[in-house]
Structure formats: C-alpha cells, structure tokens
Chain A
Amino acid sequence: MKANREKKRLFVGGLGQAISKTDLQNQFSRFGEVSDVEIITRKDDQGNPQKIFAYVNIKVAEADLKKCMSVLNKTKWKGGTLQIQLAKESFLHRLAQEREEEKAKKEKSTTDNINVLEKMGGIDFQMKAVPGTEVPGHKNWVVSKFGRVLPVLHLKNQHKRKIMKYDPSKYCHNLKKIGEDFTDTIPITSLTWELEGGNDPMSKKRRGEFSDFRGPPKKMKEMQKGKGSTVSPRTSRLSENSTSTQRGAAQKMPCASLIPNSSPVPDSGSQKLQSVPFQISDLETARKRNSMSDDDIDSEDELRMLIAEEENLQRTAWSSTNESENDLFEVVSDDFKSDVHKLHSLSGLGINNGSCRVSDGIMGSDHEYDSGDTDEIIAMKQNISKAKNSAEISQTEKPMHNKTLKKKEFSNHCNKVQKRKINKESALSNGVKPLNHKSSDASSGDDEDSEGDEEYKAIMKNCTRVNLTLADLEQLAGSDLVVPEDSESSGPETTCCKFDRASKSPKTPRTLGQGQRCIHPEEILASLLEEENTCGKQKPKENSLKSKFQAFRGVGSLYAKESVKKTLKESVDSNNINENQSSLKLEDPSSISVENESLCVNGSSSKLSQQHPKTINSPNHTLPQKRQFTFQTQDHKIVSSSKRGGRNSVSSLLPLKGKKSLSLSAKTYKIGIDKDSCHSTKKTVAASEEEGSDSSSLTSLEKLPEVSPRKDTQEGTTDISHSISSSANVNAKDKYAEDNQKRLAALEARQKAKEVKKKLVHDALANLDARPEDKPTHIIFGSDSEDETEETSIQEQRRPGKEILKESVGKASGQLFDSSDDEELDSEDDIDRFKIKPQFEGRAGQKLLDLQSHFGSDDRFRLDSRFLESDSEEEQEEVNEKKTAEEEELAAEKKKALNVVQSVLHITLNNPTSKGSVAAKKFKDIIRYDPTRHDHATYERKKDDKPKESKAKRKKKKEEAEKLPEVSKEMYYNIATNLKEIFQTTKDTHEKEEGTARNEDGGGDEMEEIRSAAALTSGTEQPSGFMFSFFDSDTKDVKEETYKVEEVKPGKTVWKGNPHFQDSSSEEEDVTEETDCRRSSPGEASVPEKETTRFFFFSKNDERLHGSDMFWSGVGSNISRNSWEARTNSLRMDCRKKHKEAKRKVKSK
C-alpha cells in the first residue's frame, strides 16, 4: 500500500476563518500522511479576509484520494463549503525535486555511463558516420546524412498505391524537429548555466566573441577520430570521446544544447537505443558545461582542465574553449596590432601620421623575425598594458592581445605545452584584470609553483608593472612630487600612453636582436620622434612632452638592451637566448621605471623581479634614498656628466641664436646619441642613426609644438626624475649604469634642445599673436577701388602691401620657416600680375580695366583681352545684343508657355508681353512687401492727408467717449436714491387711485412733489437741466432747443452732413413739442387717458411711467446731454475755426 502512496498537493478552498492548520491536518490525516499545510488568506484593501484556502501536502494513495475528494468535497465545514482539488506541486518543492533528480542522473551518467548504455542495449553509433552504412544488429536503421541514425521508412505513395522505400541516407532534408519536453533531459538549472557560461558558438557570440571559420576541418578530425574509435574496443575513454565529439558537433549547430534530443525520433521500440546515448551525452555535456562555467570563475579549475587537455594534446572538441579564445585573433596580423596600439596612443593624442606607417613596417619585419619567445614577451607586454589600462583601454585591445597568442601558435617554435601555459597565463591575467593586482600576485604565485621559467618571470613582471602603475597613480593622486603636467585628470591618459610606449619599446629591440640590427633603430627612432613631435604639436598640454621624453628614454633603453644583447650574443643557443631575454627583462623594469618617471619605484625596480610583493610598500621607503643616490650617480658619471655639461651649455646658449642654433642643438643631441650608440652598439649603427636622427630633427624642426610657460618647472622635475632613475639604475645594475647614464645625458641634451626650440617657437608665436594688435591694418590686399585706378598704381600699391605681408610673415615665423617658399609664391604672383599687365596699356586697356572693375575682382568674371578685340564699346554692344537675343528667346518661350497655360486653364491672362511691370502687377498680391525697398513704396497706403483731418475728429470722439460716462455715473447715484421714493410715491398714488377716480390734477401734484424732491437733491448740479417734467424750467428748455437747432444747421452746411446731430435735434424738438402740449394741458380740464392707445401693462399716460420717465431722463439724457451739448458746441466752434483757417490757407496757396 505504501508504495502506491504518492505525494500529492491538494487545494482546499472555501475555508472558514476559524480553521487552523492543525484542524486541516487532522481532517486530512484520515486519508493519508499530511506533511505540510499552508493556509493562504486573501484580503481586500481593508484587511478583511475575502478568500481563505489552503494547500495540503499529503501522501496519499489513489483510492484514498478519491475517497477524500468524495467525502470532503463540497461539504460544509466550520462555516465554509470545502472545495478540494489537486493542486500543482509547489514551486520550491518541484525545484528541489528536480535538483535531486538531476543529481541522481548525473551520478548515474558519470559512474555507470557504459552500464546504462549496455543496459539499454545501446550501440556506439559513432563508429561509422558514413551515410548509408547500416547499423549493425538493427534492421532498417542506417546512418543517414549528417551522421544520424535513422530508420528506413516504407511509405505508401499517395497516388500510386505503391510502397516506397525512404532511405534517409539518400536524402538531405530529413531533419525535422519533433517536440519533446525538455525538462526530462535538461533541467532548468543546467539550462541557465548554459546561458551564462556555455562555450557553444551561440553563447560565444552573445558574449561578443566571434569564432573564426574553423569549424569544418575540426569536424573532419572528429570524424576521423570517431572512425578510429570504431576499430578499438569499447572503452570508457572511447565512449567519452565519442560523446565529446557528439557534443562538439552539437555545439556547431546553432541551437546547440537542445539539438541532440530533437533529432528525428520515430516511435519505434528500437529507437530507444539511440535516444539513450544521446541523452547520456547530453547529460555529460551539461555537467561539463557546468564545470566549465565554474572554471570561468575559478581559475584553478580551469588550469587543471587545461593541463589535462595538454596531456591529451589532441584537438578534441573539448579544446574548443581554448580554440575559441584563440579563434578571434586569427585574422589579424601583427601589423594590425601595432597599428591599433598606435592608434590607441595616437587617438589619445589626436594624431595619426606617417610615423605610424613606418613603425608598422617595422612591426611587419618584427613579425618575420619573431620566435616564440619574442611573441611571448610581446604578449606579456600587452598583458601588462591591458592589466594596467583596464579602465581605459577599450575592448579593441583584447582581440589584439589574443592575436598575439594566435601568432604564437603559428610561429610555433616551442612546444605546445609552453603555449598552453602562455594561454593559461594570459587567461589568468584576463581573469585577474577585473580584480586587483593582489589577485594577480596570487595567481603568479601559483604559477611559480608550476613553472619557474621565463614566462613566470614575465608574468611576475606583469604584476610588478601593475604595481608600479598603481603606485604611480597613487603618487599622482597624493604626493606633491607629481610631475606638473601630470594633472590628475590627465594622469591616467598619460600613463596609458606610457605603457603603450613601454610595450612597444621592448618589442623593437627584440627585432633588432634577431635580425637587421643596424637598419632598424634609426627607423624606430625616426618614427618615434615624428610621432612625438606631432603629438606635441597637437596637444596643447605638456602630457605629450612628457610622453615624448619617455619614449626617448625607451629608445635609450633599447640601445642599452641592445648592448646587453651584443655582449651575450656569443651564446647562440635558444636557451641562452631565453636567458638573455630574461636578463633583458630583468632590466626592463628599470627602464620602465624611467619611462614612468615614478620616483619611488626606481629604487626598488631592481628588486622587483625577485620580490614583487614588496614593491607596493617599497616606494615610500625609497623616496628619501633616491635623493642621496642622485649625488652619488653624478659622481659616478664623471665623463658622461662632463660631456653632458658641455652639451648643456651649448643648449643653453641656443635660445639666443636662432634657427641655425636650433639645428646645432639638434646636431649636438645627435652627437649625444651617437656616443651612446657607440658605446653600446657598433659604429655602423651609429652612422645610420645619425641619419635617422637627422631626419627626426628635421621633422621636429618643422613641426614644432606650442609650449606653455610651464616648461621650466617641468624641466626641473624631469631632471630630478632623470637623476633619480639613473641612480636607481646604478643601484640595480652597475653593469649597465654607464650606458644608462650616457643615455640619460643624451636624453637631457635632447630635452634641452627641445625646450630651446619650443621656447623659440613660443616666442615666435607670441610675436605672431601680438602683431595684429600692433598694426592690424597693414595687411591690405588690393581692393576694388584700387583696381579702378591705374595699373601702375595698382602695382605699386600692391607691392607694399605684399611686402608688409611678407614682413609680417617673416617676423612671425622668425627663422623657423624657410621664407623661400613665400618668396617663390610672391614671385609667382608678381609674374602673374605682370602677365596681365600689358593688356591694360593704352586707352583700350583702361577701358578693360573699367570693365573689370565693373565686374568685380572675381576671377571668373575677369574680362581679359578676348573681350577687347577691336573696340570695347562694340564688344559691349555685342554682348548686349546677345543678351537681348537670349532674353527675347526666353520671352518668346514664356509667351508661348503662357498661351498654353491660357488654353489649358481656359482663362484669359493679362498680356504677358511687358515682362517686368506686368508681372510685378500681377504678382502684387503675392509680392512680399519690403519696406526698405523704394519701389515698394507704391504698396504703401498713404495716410498722410486724411489722418490730419480726422485727428481732430478722433480727438473729439475720444473726448466724448471719455467724458460722458463720468457724468452719467454721478447721476446714477442721485437717481438711485430717488428711485426708492419714486416707488413709494407710486404706491401712494395707487392707493389713492383705488379710492377715487383718476385725476390729472392730483397726479400732477404728486408729480410735482416728486419732482421737487428730485430737484432738492440734484437741482444744484443741473443748472440747465432739460426734463420731461411738466412745470419746471420749460422756457429754458425751449430756449436751448431753439438755440441748438440754429447752431446745428450752419454746422451741417459747413460740414459734410452729420446725421447724428440732425437726428438728435429733431428728436429733441419732438420732445419739446410734446412737453409743450403737456404744459398746456395742466391748465385745462383733465385729459382723458383713453386718448392714447392702451398697452398691455400700462396705458400711455400712466403715472407710473411718469415716475420712471423722470428716472431715465435723469440718468441718461438730461445732464449728460447738457454737458455734451455744451462741449459739442465748443468743439464745433473750434472745428469751424480750423476749417476756415484751412480754407484760407488753401486759398492763399
């Protein structure tokens, strides 16, 4: 029974709130063994439980489960209806399970790999991958194309009712992916690993590494191997191999990891045979990949792997990791690398010039003479640079580094083992790169145990160099001894450059040592010099300067090394060479330290090869010592120093002299170099070098950089550094001390000469800059006006101008530039001028001159003698005629076109014959008005006369508009106070009227009362108020009316009809008439109301209206009108006066 029990996960929904875990456990323990209960409560936003359910992990038999379901499902329990369902396994659980399974499988596969194979009746299919071979022991199974074992199918033809035999070995396109659940074969975990650290091409590409086109041959090898394995009996090793080959094949495929499983698998029983080994291999690959990815992190593991691999020595698919590492580099040659190097350094400085090429050529030769050793060294150097500049150097360097490795492979003089080691080391350095130098130390320590060779030393050097740089950087950041130009921001850059140089410089001596020693150095020197010069030119900062000197030092070190080589050259054995190189390497640090100008490291540099860990600490200690050493070293080099002193004096004198002195300094420098070289190398070399330096000096002379005032300080510092470095060298190796000193002396001399040059240039440039301020107007080129004048005068005028220009140029350039060029140019110009000259002679010449001046000085429009055949006037006429002819042609064409347009558009156009004016008229609407143009004045609207007249009007109107509202406002207040009374009175009247019959008299009295009340309040303000009242100020009103009418009429006649006045006056008249009527009425008997038409709400003579009458009259008309009238009168008078004046004026005119 127990065996039947399976672990199930049940979903129990619809639980009540009160249910606890134990409840559930009890409930379900009836059916099986409850292992875990998980209650989940879903809450809404207020925190009220909405949904409660549980997951119960239970070990239950199938029957019990059913029972449980039937019993408990949809039953009510503690306030909820239970719902029981089978749930998916919990994620964590499943994960754990999977892992377990995986582990088990792994174990299985690793331990009894073959057992499984045998158990499943598997057969080694790799024995013959030739398509068409039948699989032994299995009928109808053949090896198809692509080495897959596939069944021969017998298919019924659709149309022919014929059974066809389908032999997969004869068809190519029989690969079809059949979906499987991959979870069985490849667990998720391994998949993820795959993504991270797989070494299949896809993931490689994803990581940005691209393999070379190496696949096919390798495959062939594998195939062969597979064949070979068929012959031998089945061993574990063989199976491993086979699996590995399979895997290799799989890796070749794009979707590598899954392909083996997805091979076309029919559902026949015999199929298992095949699928099983595939699976196994798969598992293995997965495991291996896991280990691989581990290796990526763990360098030790990788090391071991690599060693194992080396033992193999065969290129199995397994080695693809290494190969793929090397893959990337195959295409590019050494030249390219050097180029990149240069580019890197140059791009940092913003230059690229021919020097690059020269050095490239050297590199090419370098390539030729390369042995494995040199390659290694180069690689080491590159590693160094890489490690150092990990932050700065872009990824482009990475392939470079790899390239060298590749090259190593090609040049293969050493064992493969060695190479592997190198690879390893490089890998180590790669791995270390992200880490600190510390780790690199550790790794190198590891290497120490394994190999004590030169490689180890080189590695060590790497480490030390890293340390150096670090120390350097630290110093840069912290100490005050920092070289001034090495500002913190530019620090890394310069160091980068330095290291580039450093890596370069050691490389070149190798080539020298190997082969054409006498020819190369000069080239190198020249290239270096050129490069540096350009660098200095381009870079305003003194970084370049510094780098320059470093490079020189590097060159110097080259010589030193050379000499060393010479001495040791007697021993020609490869081992000896190795030794030699190693010794050279020993020297290298010191040279590097010189290059670095790191004050602290020099002292310890000699020890670096033995005690690299100490270097970090040593700088601080060595600092004080160095100072002392400097003196000592100076004592040491008596001869050299004296020489140097002489040179220095010469160089110090140089600035006073000039260009020649410059060259002298260059020569002196050359001599210094020569001496150096004499000591170290053969005389022949020296001779050739002289040439090289000659060229270099020339280039330096030509391309002179700007110099900042910081020079001096820099000089001082560099000097100090020199001495220090020299002292360090003495300490390190007495043997090479002299060489070094001499070199340094030469360098110093060179430096001084440089500075002198720079100063000179600086002065010259400063002069140049200052010039325009002094006399900016002196450089005058012939202007048009001058052209117009006579020829001779032109010549004369131009001459001085040119001369001035020349002078200025000469001054500016000083002795730097050969003025011969300028003179040549000048002379050419003069010749040109003279050529043109004769044409201007005589009258005709003058005319031509005029013509020219007319056309401007543009060369394109220069009218030479062609235009002046017999008589210039005729010529002009001709030209005009031509022009007119052309124009006519065009006009005719246009006419035609317009006609066509007319016909097309079916419209009549204006006569297009008159081109300009008509067109202008036509385009009037679309012409853009340009106020600056005079002819556009026609488009301006003339407002000059009218506005004058209307101004007064406008003013009037404005005044009216302004002042009217003010008055009305005041009135409004008054009336508003009255309004209440009015309404009250009307009420009264209503009350009265109710009682008695309507009486006009009574009404009139009341109105009088009201009016008087109104008058009390506002009477003072309206002296000439016009009212629609019955009794008050009638005469006044009438008078005003009459007066008004009289006034208006003359105005009308004079002015051009103003309907407003007319209307208003007439209205007023009407009103007055009305009032007159009413005035007469009070005296008589009461007028019946019915005489007027009755409106809907009120009759015409309604008393209420009377009140309101007064109201509105008070607001609007009365006062405002009065004031307005007064004003208009005055204005009218004004206007009239003005008009009369204007008339008079017109008449007088």
Chain B
Amino acid sequence: MRPLTEEETRVMFEKIAKYIGENLQLLVDRPDGTYCFRLHNDRVYYVSEKILKLGANISGDKLVSLGTCFGKFTKTHKFRLHITALDYLAPYAKYKVWIKPGAEQSFLYGNHVLKSGLGRITENTSQYQGVVVYSMADIPLGFGVAAKSTQDCRKVDPMAIVVFHQADIGEYVRHEETLT
C-alpha cells in the first residue's frame, strides 16, 4: 500500500475527470475529512484518513482491500475504473444517461445501451464522453462512454449503440471474485 505517484495520479484523475469533470476536486479536497488514494495490488483505493490509519496495522500481503476501490492500473499503466467507484462518480456525474426499465436488465447483464433503451440523456453530451448510467428512477446503474453525441442520438436508428458499457452494478454479482 503506497500513495500514488504523480504519474499514476494523473492517469487516474484524467480517467475520473471524464465522468465528473471539475467535481474531481471535491473528491480530493473534502470538507468532511481527509481522504486520499492509495495503491495496493495495482488497485487504487479511496480511503479516509481514519481507515488508512487502521489499515496501516495490517501487513501488505494480508490486506485485501481498504476503503473503496476505485479501479486498477493495468499492466500497461492505464487506469480502469471499477464499478465500486460508482458511489463516488454518481453524485458528481456531469453527463448522465437514463435508461428505460426494459433496457435496465440488458445493461446490467453487461450489454451496451441501445437507442431503444435510452430514456433520457444529458444534453450536449459529446461523443466518447464518460457518462453515468441511471435507471429512470434515478438509481445509478453503472457508467460507460457515450457512443454518440446527444445530437447524433436523435438521428440514429433504435438499435444503434448509444452508450458503450464499461461497468454496471451487475458486476457485483457477475464479478464478485474480482471486486475488492
């Protein structure tokens, strides 16, 4: 467990900023306590100071996880967000996509969001913008990348992919073993 290097921080922040933009600073600089990012087993954990202190008592090889896992660094040193980060992305998300109840299941099974399942979308979403996917009842379901801009979404046929799937809360069941 160690703090992130600057490069790692940059990579990670760039990724997160795709979803929450300037709100990223709210994650870094929180009024309700000091939170920090820690790297452990290639995974980045968002940890409060308190938990960090407690976690320091556990040896590295025994430590499975602490705080909230935001994602992991791939071997190529890219950062990949995990679904566990959704709790922090959803409140700050700038671009949102709401999907219809009928398409919820499909999305939660790891499929992309088709236009037919698109219930609502934040306007002026640009293409390849990171978006957080909500159900129509405003329950965050996951996140992904907008495959089409809002304008394009209007034109495309109903079976066209609108949002590329990246992570969804179905992974809590599907990838239970890898989520830490």
Contact = CB atoms under 8 A, between A and B. Distances in A.
Given A890-B34, A893-B3, A905 B21 contact: yes
B31 A919 contact: yes
A886 to B, nearest CB: 8
A905 B36 contact: no
Interface stretch (A345-353, A705-713, A894-902): A894-902
Nearest to B24: A901
Contacts of B26: 923, 926
Given A893-B3, A896-B6, A907-B22, A901 B34 contact: no
A264 interface: no
A901 B31 contact: no
Interface in B24-82: 24-26, 28-31, 34, 36-37, 49, 53
B interface majority secondary structure: helix
A352 to B, nearest CB: 33
A837 B21 CA distance: 58
Contacts of B10: 900, 903-904
Report the interface size class on chain B: 20 to 34
A569 to B, nearest CB: 65
Nearest to A927: B31
Interface centre among A909, A919, A920 (most CB of B within 10 A): A919
A994 to B, nearest CB: 68
Contacts of A927: 31
A900 B36 contact: no
A900 B6 contact: yes
Contacts of B6: 896, 900
B24 A904 contact: yes
B126 interface: no
A904 B10 CA distance: 7
Contact of B29 (A900, A905, A907, A912): A912
A170 interface: no
Contacts of B21: 905
Interface in A885-935: 886-887, 890-891, 893-894, 896-898, 900-901, 903-905, 907, 909, 912, 915-916, 919-920, 922-923, 926-927
A890 B35 CA distance: 8
Nearest to A922: B29
A905 B17 CA distance: 7
Interface string B3-27: 1001001100110010001101110
Nearest to B38: A893
Contacts of A915: 34
Nearest to B37: A897
A857 to B, nearest CB: 20
B25 A901 contact: yes
Nearest to B49: A890
Given A904-B14, A920-B31, A909 B25 contact: yes
A53 B152 CA distance: 62
B174 to A, nearest CB: 31
Nearest to B91: A926
Interface in A116-136: none
A183 B25 CA distance: 78
B29 to A, nearest CB: 5
Contacts of A891: 34
A893 B22 contact: no
A891 B6 CA distance: 15
Nearest to A920: B31
A894 B14 CA distance: 16
Nearest to B15: A904
Contact of B13 (A886, A901, A926): A901
Contacts of B14: 904
Contacts of B9: 896-897, 900
A898 B30 CA distance: 11
Contacts of A898: 25, 28-29
Nearest to A890: B34
A926 B20 CA distance: 15
Contacts of A923: 26, 30-31
Nearest to A899: B6
B92 to A, nearest CB: 10
Contacts of A926: 26
Most chain B CB within 10 A, of A886, A893, A912, is at A893
A900 B3 CA distance: 14
Given A896-B9, A904-B24, A907-B22, A919 B29 contact: yes
Interface of A: 886-887, 890-891, 893-894, 896-898, 900-901, 903-905, 907, 909, 912, 915-916, 919-920, 922-923, 926-927
30 contacts: A890-B34, A890-B36, A890-B49, A893-B3, A893-B36, A894-B28, A894-B29, A894-B34, A896-B6, A896-B9, A897-B13, A897-B36, A900-B6, A900-B10, A901-B17, A903-B10, A904-B13, A905-B21, A905-B24, A905-B25, A907-B22, A909-B25, A912-B29, A919-B30, A919-B31, A922-B25, A922-B29, A923-B26, A923-B31, A926-B26
> Nearest 6 A-B pairs (CB), nearest first?
A923-B31, A904-B13, A919-B31, A900-B9, A897-B28, A890-B34
Given A904-B10, A905-B22, A905-B24, 18 more contacts: A890-B49, A891-B34, A893-B3, A894-B29, A900-B6, A901-B25, A901-B28, A904-B13, A905-B17, A905-B25, A909-B25, A919-B29, A919-B30, A919-B31, A922-B25, A922-B29, A923-B31, A927-B31
